[in-house]
Amino acid sequence: MQLSRPPSQPIAPAILDALPNPPLPEAVCPRRTRQQLDLMLLAIEALDLGGAEAMLTAAKELELQSVIKNRVSFWRLRATNPLRRYSQRRPLTLTEAKALVFMTCHLARRMTVLIRQMLLVYDQLLEKQLPLEQHIRLASYLERFRAHFRSRMNPKRTAVIAYNSDEKLNQLAMSLLGQLLFCTGAAGAQRFWSSLFDGEAS
């Protein structure tokens, strides 16, 4: 039996070529990129109860299995976030980052209506100076996000200490929600990808 390609060298899925390689000094993701990618996925998990499962399904749908093989390898990619409790000291390659970008945009697009609705509600509540707990869906998103963030991020990190109050974590959650909305657009993946390397390009 002949193998069409050696199994040890997975070829990057063609979908990833849609994103250009940014002009970086090294071909690995900078710190902020890794952090932002993981936080965006964290926000998706907080939005969707079955978010973690949906991510693995999304990897299959997008045919990204060669990059994201299973639950463990997916966790290892996300744990390159330096803020994590069990942060992995491995680099995140551009191919892996592209896969995470597509996954984020894919999942965000599915929840476009929900994201829009929650952002509108947030604006209305702020305008009327009502507590955010008024809206059950928004409140549960914020609560889950705070719980996820606190359980997974290393509380000794300065960047994590900065989010020491519910209010600050809510703000982070809302800004991530807004960023997720931008990922749902026609050029969402390109915009998100390009923004990940802002201030890092050489």
Partner 1 sequence: MTIQRQYSLPNCQLVIDGLSQDAADVTGRPPMSVVTHVECRVAGHDRPILGGKELLESLVKAVSAYAQEYLSGIPHPAARLKHRGIPELVQLQRIDTNLHRLTVQSQVDNPTGKDQAKLYQMPTTPAAQLDLTTVQLFDMVEAVDQFFADAQTLPELSLNLTPLSKRFAAAQEPIAKRALPAALGLSGLTVAAIALFYVPNPPNRRPQPIAANPALNQPLASATPSPTGTATASPAATVAVSPSASPSASPATTLASPASPESVVVASPLVSPAAASPAIASPNGSQAGGSQEIDAILNTAPEIREPGKLDSIIVALQSKLYKGWNAKPPQSFTTKLEYRVGVAENGDILGFKFANDAALTYVKETPLLDLRYNPTGATPSPVPVAQLLVIFRPDGILEISPWHGTTETP
181 interacts with partner 1 by CB under 8 A: yes
What is the C-alpha to C-alpha distance for residues 170 and 163, in angstroms, rounded to an integer? Answer: 9
95 interacts with partner 1 by CB under 8 A: no
126 interacts with partner 1 by CB under 8 A: yes
52 interacts with partner 1 by CB under 8 A: no
186 interacts with partner 1 by CB under 8 A: yes
CA atoms within 13 A on the CB side of 78: 22
CB-wise, 157 or 191, nearer to partner 1? 191
Stretch in the footprint of partner 1 (CB under 8 A) among 47-55, 132-140, 147-155, 184-192: 184-192
CB-wise, 6 or 199, nearer to partner 1? 199
Q: Which DSSP string corresponds to 103-114?
A: HHHHHHHHTHHH
82 interacts with partner 1 by CB under 8 A: no
Per-residue CA distances from 125 to 113, 176, 186 (Å): 18, 18, 29
* Secondary structure (3-state) at 37: helix
198 interacts with partner 1 by CB under 8 A: yes
Among 120, 130, 161, 162, binds partner 1 (CB under 8 A): 120
What is the C-alpha to C-alpha distance for residues 174 and 153, in angstroms, rounded to an integer? Answer: 18
Q: Are 46 and 148 in contact (CB under 8 A)?
A: yes
Among 90, 116, 137, 150, binds partner 1 (CB under 8 A): 116
What is the C-alpha to C-alpha distance for residues 77 and 20, in angstroms, rounded to an integer? Answer: 20
List interacting residues with partner 1 (CB under 8 A): 22-23, 36, 116, 119-120, 122-123, 126, 171, 174-175, 178-179, 181-182, 185-187, 190-202
